[in-house]
Chain A
Amino acid sequence: MTRVYVAGVGMTKIGRHFDKGFLDLAAEAAFKAIDDAGGVEPEAVVVTNMMSSRLNEQDSLGAYIAAGLGLRHRPAFKVEAACGSGGAGVFNAYTMVRSGLFDAVLVVGVEKMTDYPTSTVTAALAQAADAEYELYYGASFTGLNALMMRYYMEKYGVSRDEMSEWPVMMHSNAVSNPYAQFRRKITKEDVAKSQVVADPIRLLDSSPIGDGSAAVLLVSEELAKKLPNKPEVYIAGAWMAVDTVELSNRDALDEIPAARIAAEKAYKMAGLGPRDIDVIEIHDAFTINGVMLLEELGFAPRGEAAKLLNEGRFHPGDKPTANPSGGLKARGHPVGTTGVYQVAEITMQLRGDFPGLRVDGAEAGLTTSMGGDGSSLTVHVLRHI
């Protein structure tokens, strides 16, 4: 089985691109990734997206995007795992190259969220949850995460103020990221005063609605050797795990076992542990997700991540530095693409050419892409050669 390299990356800025449709966004990111790799022609295309069926009335997304990018007559399909589609898609492409069947696979994530009113997008996002027993009752996606946030805060005695350190850090990190949706600092006071979306989650705890596309080109060892710009970054470990979609059938409300399981396997494949990781891009659709994932990934004991954040851990300069891109909160979260953004960002961090906040000398990085409120988790461990 061959080593899998990330030969090229491409991203669009995230925002409300009323002037750009699906293909405009995908083309921007995909062409950048292909050019970044030195003009490699993908043998297959994996498209990642969550809501094209509902918000864009578009299925057949694999064919639609591939052919639209001039890549017809080859395998192409959509991978969907709600907001974890990106990570799941990269994992999928990873297995395709690792198996030896493909030398070059393009992963392009694209999401167009801003064509419809918030209440419609909210209903579409809620499809990450159980349709008959959660969405049916009006439980929005934010509402489900809010259940976990309140439970966590009450169980571990974490205050609103302590939780607010995360979004403050995210915004601060994103200031220099040209791809970020939000590039202004915020304070804890701003967070505490922001509009309540689903108590206790406030607006500044929540990733924004935005459009975007990110792409990565994965290549085999054999192809990598032939490329003019030899890829410097490879995927050392990758795994995915799922759990029940519905919260009521989970083992516990303050755990994300799927994350722990995916991480353990990815670490093992890479021959690394949490202490070896220099930089991470993890899924913080809501503040509570970022906080809980730090614990599930082995970076903090359960219940203590928020406290550690307030002591300065995970901030720029620390090992690992968390979400230098600004994370889902400030960099943005075009839901089905974010997992691809994360892999692109970590690749650039390890290459040393990330255009925003840089983690100098980073040798090992980790991404975590999550679908639902803990139902689909993909972890990638990337290393510099």
Chain B
Amino acid sequence: MPLNISPARIWRERTYRYRLVAKRCKKCGRIIYPPRPACPACGSRELEDIELPRTGVVETYTIIYTVMDGFRDKAPLPIAIVRLDNGAKVLAPLTDIDPEEIRTGMRVEAVLRRIKRDGEHGLIAYGVAFRPALYEQRKQ
């Protein structure tokens, strides 16, 4: 049966996805996420791995009603650009929140969630999602 989620693709990207590992340009300091072979800003190939902070704020967001194949069980699906505490931007779903409660600027934290399943028999795609910061409240 045809696979829509390929084992190799899931495996290749897992560290970058689950652990928010990005690249940092040694030349200009730009943080690159998702990672690329060269810096999009200055073109340098001198890059190093860095693990991004897991907390940040919602820079902007949308609530997707017209979802694509495989996402009906997630509709309405909130997607945000999150600006992490070190300035890097990440695109990810927002979770554990009602659409009406989402606000630009709210503090969020990364969690590991189930993104989609390749039918009944295929692989499960996991990834990062952001939810209203819980851990930080606790530390207050």
Residues of A bordering B, CB below 8 Å: 118-120, 122-123, 126, 130, 132-134, 136-140, 142-143, 146-151, 154, 195-201, 244, 246-249, 251, 253
Contact = CB atoms under 8 A, between A and B. Distances in A.
A118 B116 CA distance: 19
B99 A134 contact: no
Given A136-B127, A137-B127, A253-B59, A197 B65 contact: yes
B6 to A, nearest CB: 11
22 contacts: A119-B68, A123-B68, A123-B70, A130-B34, A132-B34, A134-B91, A137-B91, A137-B115, A138-B79, A140-B68, A142-B66, A143-B64, A146-B62, A195-B65, A196-B63, A199-B63, A199-B65, A200-B62, A246-B34, A246-B91, A247-B91, A249-B89
Nearest to A150: B60
A290 to B, nearest CB: 18
Given A147-B61, A147-B62, A138 B68 contact: yes
Chain B, interface size: which category?
35 or more
B139 interface: no
Given A251-B41, A253-B59, A119 B69 contact: yes
Given A137-B93, A248-B91, A249-B34, A199 B68 contact: no
Contacts of A201: 62
A140 B67 contact: yes
A147 B40 CA distance: 21
A138 B74 contact: yes
Highest count of chain A CB atoms <10 Å: which of B77, B79, B91, B104? B91
B66 A122 contact: yes
B67 A122 contact: yes
Contact of B62 (A119, A150, A249): A150
Nearest to A251: B41
A249 B36 contact: yes
B90 interface: yes
A330 to B, nearest CB: 20
A146 B59 CA distance: 13
Interface in B54-85: 59-72, 74, 77, 79-81
B91 A253 contact: no
B49 interface: no
A149 B62 CA distance: 9
